[in-house]
Amino acid sequence: MIRIIALLILVIPGFLAGVGIKLMRDMLFGILQSPFPALWMQFFAGLFLFIGGLGFVAGFIFRRDRKQNKVQPKFQGKE
């Protein structure tokens, strides 16, 4: 059960990062999605979703690896 919860914790931000990429791509092609009144707002919303989702997944993996001592000594932290 814990592994399923961990998978969901990683899938949801990963999905949001994918939506962010789609919004930025649509802005480059001039396709305006319905909740946004301007293309620049759509781009920044997509950028925010992408950076937030990617950062969450990267932080989750980094924290897990640090607990298992699989990172370089300079990233181990103070003990």
Residues 26-55: tens digit of each pLDDT = 999 999 999 999 999 999 999 999 999 999
What 3-state DSSP class applies to 6?
A: helix
In which region does residue 38 sit, left (phi positive, over 0), alpha (psi from -120 to 50) or beta (all else)? beta
Tell me what percent of the residues of the chain surpass a pLDDT of 90: 89
Q: Distance (Å, rounded) from C-alpha 24 to C-alpha 39? A: 9
> Per-residue pLDDT for 79 more than 70?
no
Number of domains in the chain: 1
What's residue 77's pLDDT? Answer: 79
Q: Radius of gyration over alpha carbons of the chain, in Å? A: 17
pLDDT at 6: 86
Nearest 5°: phi and psi at 62?
A: -65, -45
Give residue 54's domain range: 2-75
Residue 78 has pLDDT above 90, yes or no: no
> Cα dihedral angle (12, 15, 21, 24), rounded to 10 degrees?
-70
